[in-house]
Amino acid sequence: MHVDSPNLFLAMFITTAMGAALLFWSWWRNRSDKTLLFAGGALALVGVSVLMLSARGRWPSFLTVDIAHAAALIALAFVWASARVFNGKSPSLLVLSAGPVLWLLACQVMPLRDSFPMATVVSSLLVVVYSLLAAREFWARDGLASRGALSATLLVHAVVSSLRIPVAVSQIVSDATVEAYASTTFVFFMIEAIAFVQALVFLLVSLTKERLEVQLRWTATIDPLSGLPNRRALLDRGAEALAQGLRGQQPTAVIVFDLDRFKDINDSYGHAMGDRVIHLFAEVARANLRLGDHVGRIGGEEFAAVLPRADEEAAGIAIQRVIDIFAQRSTEIFPLRCTVSAGIAASQASTESLEYLLAAADTALYFAKRRGGNRWEAASTAPGHTLSVDVPLIWEQQ
């Protein structure tokens, strides 16, 4: 079989050059994430390595063997580093440099420049190690589908690279004269390398884009001041919790909170102090409600919570805990005592509307405010009952 190695090297060089350009361009558009910067650097180094490997026999062997393979190993180390950066970790200089340094040392003590099979064994071992390290680093159960595909791609590359070792060992044992880049197995390994680079570029761009989309969706549902879900997110989660409760014939409690005299705090101490009070209440509410409860900021100084599998009595216990701890914490942090009022409404088996429960809790909150604040009131939502108040409902879904 005729092996057209120059064309294979050309195809590999073009693939890595275009991949590096795409990764650098993608990084330039979002320079806060250096994942693609490391990956682009990896492919650029692969391109340099391919250029030197293709010049074997024409350029000094120090370049075409020592430096060429060292560049390829640094490239794989950069792929591992890109995974570390993506995970928010710092790449270790020791791991980055260990492979290339070991290779260069091996070139000094072993006849790697003169024995293509022996060079293949040593370089393939190091490639397998770096590929496995990168696969392990990319793997994580965080819901990003591209992670698994990247890890699988790197594992396949490690397996294919390991297959080069027994082939090269058999050539060493048989003492056969092997011409570099002239065997049929070389074609297979080059095609696999080209496919690996293409898959790596696609999956890395896909992974960073996937995480950015997740972050954008998260940002769209979070109130930036309190760090709690915003109104839309709370309504969605609350409606789902209420529907599940109705299907399981379990009560669901809805609470509406309102910080007492919040306008006076802003007027007397400034809006910065008001922001700190909002942040403190969000922290207290989140820490003192159950793990499965949903709490969010619905606007201004108003908050709401949806408590699955909780009736008015259970919700009242939770609210009193929040009221007491919030007042205590505020006196420890601020030069004033901050308080909060709340209203509760709980669903029954026939109650189907979250808006009704929110309106009922809001009206109960009105009575808590009218009675001096720093307290909570409950509203009846039993079948056949109307709200036991004669004030207009002020809740509106926005």
pTM of the predicted protein model: 0.78
**pLDDT confidence tier of residue 176, bands split at 50, 70 and 90:** low
Residues 198, 122 share a domain: yes
Residue 350: what pLDDT?
59
Query: Could you give the residue ranges of the DSSP H alpha helices within the chain?
Result: 5-29, 35-53, 61, 68-86, 93-109, 116-138, 145-174, 184-220, 231-247, 262-269, 271-288, 312-333, 354-370
**pLDDT confidence tier of residue 329, bands split at 50, 70 and 90:** very high
Into how many domains does the chain fold? 2
**pLDDT confidence tier of residue 393, bands split at 50, 70 and 90:** very low
Low-confidence winner among 25-39, 157-171, 243-257, 344-358 (lowest mean pLDDT): 344-358
Residue 391: what pLDDT?
35
Q: Is residue 62 part of a domain?
A: yes
Residues 237, 200 share a domain: no
How do residues 69-83 score in pLDDT, each as one tens digit?
A: 999 999 999 999 999
Residue 88: what pLDDT?
94
Residue that the structure tokens 């509203």 belong to: 379
CATH number at residue 236: 3.30.70.270
Q: Is the pLDDT at 175 greater than 80, yes or no?
A: no
Task: Identify the domain containing residue 113 by its residue range.
Answer: 5-220
Residue 297: what pLDDT?
97
**pLDDT confidence tier of residue 352, bands split at 50, 70 and 90:** low
Q: Is the pLDDT at 182 greater than 60, yes or no?
A: yes
Mean pLDDT score across all residues of the chain = 90
Q: Is residue 97 part of a domain?
A: yes
Residues 74, 198 share a domain: yes
Residues 92, 51 share a domain: yes
Residues 208, 355 share a domain: no
Q: Is the pLDDT at 102 greater than 70, yes or no?
A: yes
Task: Tell me the average pLDDT across 357-373.
Answer: 93
Q: Is the pLDDT at 383 greater than 60, yes or no?
A: no
As a whole number of angstroms, the distance between CA 384 and CA 391 comes to: 19
Q: Comparing 151 with 352, which gets the higher pLDDT?
A: 151
- Domain boundary among the residues 197, 220, 243 is at 220
In contact, 361 and 391? CB cutoff 8 Å: no
Q: Is residue 195 part of a domain?
A: yes
Residue 186: what pLDDT?
87
Residue 180: what pLDDT?
66
Residues 212, 237 share a domain: no
Give CA separation, 193 vs 8, 184, 199, 238, in Å.
10, 15, 10, 50
Q: Is the pLDDT at 33 greater than 80, yes or no?
A: yes
Residues 171, 67 share a domain: yes
Residues 235, 214 share a domain: no
**What residues pair up with 378 in beta bridges, in sequence order?**
344
**pLDDT confidence tier of residue 385, bands split at 50, 70 and 90:** very low
How do residues 3-21 score in pLDDT, each as one tens digit?
A: 578 899 999 999 999 999 9
Low-confidence winner among 95-104, 194-203, 245-254, 357-366 (lowest mean pLDDT): 245-254
